[in-house]
Chain A
């Protein structure tokens, strides 16, 4: 499969625990994005990487959230001290090198349930 891969597909955690999600983009894509989708809403932008550099972060990304892309390949999104409001689908997307914007390819997402 040469698409965007996300792991795990589902995660159930107790409030207060830390969780980490992984995203593997399409191999030649240097841009990587994280979005969050809650029930009844469209995806909301969280953060964006170009290679290993995190270039933009949304105000939605509180201090409990951190994202990394250490070698410019896969990325991780960590949520510390999870809260029930963090329950959502976390989506990763990637796009190829380009001087413009041409849209991107989404992964299947990681569904987080905080109980």
Chain B
């Protein structure tokens, strides 16, 4: 069965630190991959998405993610985090049907 795994449940960083959140998927076919962010009290917002082409995808707010097919991974990165990046981050995959399969999320806390 298709699945998405996020192994970092809670990450705590200081401002200006670099960020990398892990995301792995399980599926043998063509995938579309997404990162969503949920700020406290707000709805899910799309950060970035990968469909095809350049495996390095740039999104909003300075985030980027790299699709590595051989590792079934789509890790999210940001070179220098800000306090306002405190949120929950969800990786999601589209595996050929109409629905998205989400990971369990990573809570990111940035310490000023």
Which of A21-29, A68-76, A101-109 interfaces with chain B? Answer: A101-109
* Contacts A33-B98, A43-B90, A45-B99; A109 near B46 (Cβ below 8 A): no
CB-defined interface of B78-112 with A at 8 Å, one 1/0 digit per residue? Answer: 00000000000010101001111111110000000
In the assembled complex, which residues on chain B have CB atoms less than 8 Å from the CB atom of A101? 32, 94, 98
Interface residues of A (CB under 8 A from B): 31, 33, 40-45, 48, 55-56, 91, 101-109
Interface CB pairs A-B, < 8 A, 25? A31-B98, A33-B98, A41-B105, A42-B92, A42-B103, A42-B105, A43-B44, A43-B90, A43-B100, A44-B102, A45-B101, A48-B99, A55-B98, A56-B98, A91-B43, A91-B44, A103-B34, A103-B49, A103-B100, A105-B46, A106-B44, A106-B45, A107-B43, A108-B42, A108-B43
